[in-house]
Amino acid sequence: MVKPKITETDVSKLIPDPNNARKRTPLSASVIRKSLEQFGAARSIVIDENDVIRAGNGTYEEAGQLGIEKVLVVEADGNTIVAVKRRGLTEEQWKQYAIADNTASDFSTWDYEILEELAQEIDYSEFFPDDKLNELLEQLGRNPVNSDNDSPESSTQEIDTDEFEFECTCPKCGFQFNKQ
């Protein structure tokens, strides 16, 4: 096994993904920020050869807000999993961290315009099973993408999002959504 190349660089040299279709809500940003404040950096992000962030844009954004200036870069070819060994947390803190880490994306939303554009270029069907991508796009009156499954045709009627009634509203951040 070839020893991986590990370097340290400034966080400011990383480039947010301009096509990132996942967007943080105030609540998801708050969960990431509180996790970084309470437990420190313990999660990796993924960058490409040009230092564009391909996964972990929310962590990058909140780390920058908190003044974290350095990033360790581990070069990998996809044949080895990269693990971050975080030391110094109590068992209670580990439990809290696990909850924070697993809930931040639950409170995020999609940038439907970017998601729709990307879906026209790339087949996402294996990442959105049971036609979930089309359901997401149709909820906002967007065009469904072509899929190979046998689900019935759906309407792509434009809706007025100001008059659309959502089933639920988050009492903390006001994010509106429908149960599924």
pLDDT in tens, 15-60: 999 989 888 899 989 999 999 999 999 888 999 999 999 999 999 9
Burial class (CB in 10 A: 0-12, 13-18, 19+), 42: middle
Mean pLDDT of 83-96: 92
Mean pLDDT of 144-154: 47
Among 154, 162, 161, 126, residue whose Cα is nearest residue 138: 154
Burial class (CB in 10 A: 0-12, 13-18, 19+), 122: exposed
Contact between residue 30 and residue 106 where contact means Cβ atoms under 8 Å apart = no
Q: What is the CA radius of gyration of the chain?
A: 19
**Continuous H helices in 40-123:** 57-65, 91-103, 112-121
Structure tokens, 53: 């962030």
Neighbours of 75 (CB within 10 A): 11
Confidence of residue 150 (pLDDT cuts 50, 70, 90): very low
For the chain, the residue count is 180
Three-state SS for 11? helix
pTM comes to: 0.68
